[in-house]
Amino acid sequence: MSADDFPGWHGTTIIGVKKNGKVVIAGDGQVSLGQTVLKGTAKKVRRLSPGGFDVVAGFAGSTADAFTLLERLEAKLEANPGQLPRAAVELAKDWRTDKYLQKLEAMLIVSDGKHLMVITGAGDVLEPEHDVTAIGSGGNYALAAARGMMGSETDAETIARSAMAIAADICVYTNNKITLEQISG
């Protein structure tokens, strides 16, 4: 079954902002099926600590698929302690080549405080050019809002919260129930 065949799962906005030695990843809490909100308080941003090494991750897409990817990322981090870029590349390679993983429909934003990356099922590990990235149905709204604030004196958390509020005002699949994690580099 392709995403086009599924009855209209939509949802989420996740943003990552890196500024002044801090990274904030924030996400909304809405899960929708078609035009119905199923849940408004889902937690789509999590702190992972494999081997005492902290990583913050936010996900957009299928929740079960995202949890599978988060478990795989934790395993890659345990195999490559303190090396998020290498663990992310290893996950992306597996995701791209493994027949089971290829069917997973989710995207991740991850950070160890030094690096901010998007990991996709197409085998991409992308570091944003302007220290801000966003995914999900309201991702472009949040990204544009955050990019507009990056040159100001505003801190990473305030930028993330403001961008999420703007996305929630525009995207019907995004709400204002924000989960936010911060990590320093």
Round the CA-based radius of gyration of the chain to a whole number and report it: 15
Distance CA(104)–CA(98), nearest Å, equals 10
Identify whether the C-beta of residue 29 lies closer than 8 Å to the C-beta of residue 12.
no
Give alpha helix (H) positions in the chain. 63-79, 84-97, 139-149, 156-170
SS3 state of residue 70: helix
- Please tell me the distance from the alpha carbon of residue 169 to that of residue 156, in angstroms, as a whole number: 20
Distances 103 to 1, 2, 132 between C-alpha atoms, Å? 10, 9, 27
- Exactly one of 12, 13, 174, 179 is catalytic; which is it? 12
- Residue 13: count of CB within 10 angstroms of its CB: 32
The two tokens of residue 46 are 């999590």
12 catalytic residue (yes or no): yes
Cα angle 65, 92, 135; round to 5: 60
C-alpha triplet 94, 53, 134: angle, nearest 5°:
60
Write out the catalytic residue numbers: 12
